[in-house]
Structure formats: structure tokens, C-alpha cells
Amino acid sequence: MMGRKAVNLILLVALCGIAAVGWTVQSDPSKPNDVFLPNMVESVPYDAFAENPNYADGKTLQQPPDGAIPRGAVRLHYSTGTEEAKRAGQELRNPFLLTDTEAVRRGSVIYSRYCGVCHGGTGKGDGPVAMRGFPPPPAFTDAKSLAMTDGELFHMLTYGGENMPSYATQVSQEDRWKAILFVHIIQQKELAAAAAAAAAAAQAPAPLPSPAAAPPAQ
């Protein structure tokens, strides 16, 4: 094994060498620094928006080929229309459950970003966009909304319907399912509140009849 004196001698020589290099390469503000690894400064590949002579259109970013889908996405074999929405309602199932608190939390975030502007915080169709003249959507607690399956709701989020546009490009498939979970949370809360209000009204005492008016003085 190498002795301690030999190790110290090697370290001393290395230190002297570094000091000598630092002495000879002195900084000069009027001259640029020496570049030892230029590839860390100048990118070897083409930048995303740089011109690229390797392609016919001269662009680095290329359109995906026909039929390509994002990694992790599930291709949907549906189109627009009522019949396709019904078919989606029969065939598609929400991969997330209402007991998944993290999925519900994420759904609340998606809802507040993309849905609440029209549907409102409680799903009554009283969001700020609807209050400024855009046709309001139906309340989540009306009969038609309550009868819609998760597959139908997912179809509407994906392809749009009536006055609602498609959100396929803004919201991922996974987040669409999670937003639907939060819609169910809103429905449950609003139905429970309505039931409580009806029960309270039924238990309230009947108002007393108003006293008869006194006859006019003779």
C-alpha cells in the first residue's frame, strides 16, 4: 500500500500544478474566458423552433403521423351525436371511484379551472359566463343530468354537446374522469341540501291565521 508520505507528496504536486495553472491563466476582463466543454453552451441537437434542413418543410417540430395518440391515452372510437353519446354511456366506465379522495381532489381542481365558469360552484348553471349572457347549462340536479351515466358525461366532455364545447384538447382523459367524480360530489351535496330544506319546511309549524279586522266604529 502507498505510504502516507507518498500520498502527501502526490497531493502537494497536484496542488502546485493547480496553482501554476491558476497563475498562468489570469483573468482578463477584455477577453472572453476559455471554453473547455463547448457542447454545454452550444446545443448539439436542433432546437425545437429552429430551422432544420433535414425535413422538407424546414422545421424541427413535426406533425405526428395520422392515427398517432399520446402515450398513456386510450383511443376512443366514437364520434359526435346523441346516438354515439348513448353508446359511450353503455360501454365506458369511470376508472376512478368516489372513495378515491385524491381523484376527487384532482377533479375539484379541474372543475374549478374549466367547468365552474359556466356551471357555477354548486352546479346550478350560474357561473360568471352564464351570468353575462351565454345560454346557461342545466343544473346538475335536474332529471336529465341525474340520468346521465359517466360514459355520457365523458362523451360530452370529449366531443361537446348542445352549447358545450369539446374539452379534449384542454383536459386529459384521466382528468375528465376525475372531474366527473367531482360533479357527482356536487350532485350529492345539492340533493342532500334540498332534502334537508324540504324536511325543515314540512316540520315547520303552520302560520297562525291573521286576526279578523275589527268592525268600524259607529
Per-residue buried b or exposed e for 118-132, using 16+ beta carbons within 10 Å of the residue's own CB: bbbebbbbbbebbee
Angle at 34 between CA 38 and CA 41, to 5 degrees: 25
- The structure's pTM equals 0.65
| pLDDT per residue of the chain (218 residues) written in tens, 0 to 9 | 557 888 888 888 888 888 777 766 666 667 776 777 776 667 778 889 999 999 999 999 998 888 787 777 778 889 999 999 999 999 999 999 999 999 999 999 999 999 999 999 999 999 999 888 888 999 999 999 999 999 999 999 999 988 899 999 999 999 999 999 999 999 999 999 989 988 888 887 877 777 665 566 65
DSSP 38: G
Structural domains in the chain, CATH included, are: 82-197 (1.10.760.10)
